[in-house]
Amino acid sequence: MAKTQLNVRVDEHTARAARERALAQGMSVNRYIEELVRRDTGEMGHTFVDAAADFMKQYESVFVEEFGADREGRR
């Protein structure tokens, strides 16, 4: 996906907090802000759910073989 530059002005306290949080998480401030926006808009949640659905579809036969088709999450 192509990247677009976005310039944002924040107070020094907010800028310092963003730098510190990004550093603590081992990422750039750019990436940190991008992930915050994605989280806020639900994009990461949708991505996780889509990946989980794909995983379940791919391994459905393994789960059915191990636990049976009528288990529906019951232990």
pLDDT in tens, 40-52: 777 666 777 778 8
Mean pLDDT of 46-71: 80
Q: What is the fold, at CATH topology level, of the domain defined by 1-41? A: Arc Repressor Mutant (1.10.1220)
Average pLDDT over all residues of the chain? 84
Residue 35 has pLDDT above 70, yes or no: yes
Domain boundaries, the chain: 1-41, 42-75
Summarize the confidence of residues 14-41 as an average pLDDT: 92
Position 73 confidence tier, pLDDT thresholds 50, 70, 90: low
Which of 37, 6, 7, 32 lies closest to 20, judged by CA?
A: 32
Residue 24, classified by CB atoms within 10 Å of its CB into exposed (0-12), middle (13-18) or buried (19+), is exposed
pLDDT value, residue 15? 96
Report how far residue 30's alpha carbon sits from residue 14's, in angstroms, rounded to the nearest whole number.
14
- Beta carbons within 8 Å of 31's beta carbon, 6+ residues apart: 22
